[in-house]
Amino acid sequence: MKQTSTGVIRRMVLMALAFGLLLGFGGLPAHAADQLATHVTQATVNGDGSLEVTSTMRFDGPPPAEVIQRFRTKEEVVGERDYVFGVADLRASANGHDIGRVTEEAEHVVLTIAPGDAEEIVVTYRVTGAAVRTAGDQTLVRWDVLQGLSLPVQQVEGELTVPGSFTDFKCVAGAPGSQTACTLASGGTHESFMPRFTDGPRGAGEIVGPRITFPASVVAPNEEIDERWTVGRAFTGTGWPLAAAAAVLALGAIVLYLLHRRAGRDAHPSGDPIEVARFDAVGPGEVEFHPGGEVLPGEVGTVIDERVDPIDITATILDLAVHGHLLIVEQPRRSDFAPTDWELIRLDAGGRDLRTYERDLLDAVVPVGQRTMVSEIGPAVTAAIPEIQSDLYDEVVAQGFYDQRPDSTRNVWNTAAIGVIIAGIVLTALLAAFTTFGLVGLAVIAIGLGLAVVAQEMPARTAKGARLLAGLGQLRQQLMSQRTDQMPKGHEYRELSEVLPYAIVLGGADRWLEALAAADDDDQPDSTDLSWFNGPDNWHLQDLPDSLRNLITTLNGQLFAR
């Protein structure tokens, strides 16, 4: 009984072992293959440089769930360039059914294959761009038939069908970019005309590719090169880009010169210079200053520099005071450190009629029947200054010194300059983005900047204006050289005062101010000695230079405050 039980136990153990062995060898699924047994390629090189490739992959065991192959579409070349390859009609099939899915990445076309239970996969595609031009009118066709595969391969084989004779053939294998020779590469003999190659094993991602050279008459190059964008390439400073930029600059310089010659050059002064004012001898060692009355100090500055500057407005105020339309009264300081202030008093002087800009200036600064402190000149007066400047521009045109207002002329040309600069910026962006001629756009910008400079010279004076300019040059020389101590006795204050507004605009004001101070021949205060400028009770003519300089600075600040 005991032996029977032991036998039963032994039989049960043997049955359990047999069942386990059955599960191990027959009941469990087999492992998927982790490599290809063979990768065999048939490739046809066409006369137009394209390739038609058929690769057959056989597995070493059951296939994996997914196989991925990446075909490169770009290859870096020296000089910030890339060869571009086209991979078209890419498909994978097994047993006559498509089993592949094609997607695109930045520089690859990706084929994702689901083999199922297929033992063999056929991949077909067409390649363009792999035939490149080489020296000696030759065409090199190079393509890695094995590349970017997610599985290792035990054996790689291939054969090329060529359209005619070739001059060189080899095969490379290894890591991407490798120049290591394949195990075998042969062809071009009577026994084996078609090039063949063999290599292996190769790991996942490694390459195997033929390199075959033909005369260009047999296989035409079809290379496509993509120029990568760089700042250096976009703004190439050699060859045609540099020549084109230089030509544009030269042409622009010529155009600017012709524009300035036609629209910015003063007319020829036909006649003698216009005499604005003169010093006339009235006795031995005595002269008087006689303004002509046609051109006033404010207009003098506008004709000289073609602009209504703050000094032109200030000189006009002083000229109005000298001719009895204003009285300027310097106020005593509240303390030694308090700022100086002046009161402007409107007077009803006879004489010549005021010009529009003079009347508008008087009405803005000191309305009729009122008095104004310089320190109290506010926004209302400041707001009137542009209109007064406009009146002055109109005046110099009305008198025939300009055909058109200088400010309007400048605005037209400044607008044109801005337009050229904007066009140059847009052109630079486009040329730099898509070509190597970015310097041409910069040349256009430079021309626009040059036009902006030339625009400031565009207000051209008429023949009369040119004559006036010549006359002002003569007057300036006189103001700088004429002796200041020759005014008739007893009339020094009046004569020297009339000179001042012109000297303030043309130059030499300091020497004429010093002459006024020197005309004082006593030690008594001179607070009311001048008809147009009064000072505090203890004020002397020796103080006039400093007083007037302070007044001019303060008036400019108050009238042109922003």
The amino acid occupying position 165 is S
> 38-71, pLDDT tens digit by residue?
999 999 999 999 999 999 999 988 999 999 999 9
Instruction: Report the length, in residues, of the chain.
Output: 562
Which pLDDT does position 29 carry in this prediction? 41
Taking 50 as the threshold, does the pLDDT of residue 94 lie above it?
Answer: yes
The overall average pLDDT reported for the chain is 90
Beta strands (DSSP E) in 207-247 are 207-215, 225-227
Both structure tokens of 374 = 């310089």
Phi/psi for 307 (5° steps) reads -140, 150
> 120-142, pLDDT tens digit by residue?
999 999 999 999 999 889 999 99
- CATH topology for the 36-227 domain: Immunoglobulin-like (2.60.40)
Grade residue 13 by pLDDT with cuts at 50, 70 and 90: very low
Taking 50 as the threshold, does the pLDDT of residue 107 lie above it?
Answer: yes
Interacting residues of 435 by C-beta distance below 8 A, sequence separation 6+: 234
Q: Are strands 286-291 and 131-134 parallel, antiparallel or unpaired?
A: unpaired
Which pLDDT does position 379 carry in this prediction? 87
Taking 90 as the threshold, does the pLDDT of residue 184 lie above it?
Answer: yes
Which pLDDT does position 81 carry in this prediction? 81
Q: What residues does each domain of the chain span?
A: 36-227, 296-405+475-487+497-559
Which pLDDT does position 30 carry in this prediction? 41
pTM, two decimals, is 0.68
Which pLDDT does position 264 carry in this prediction? 87
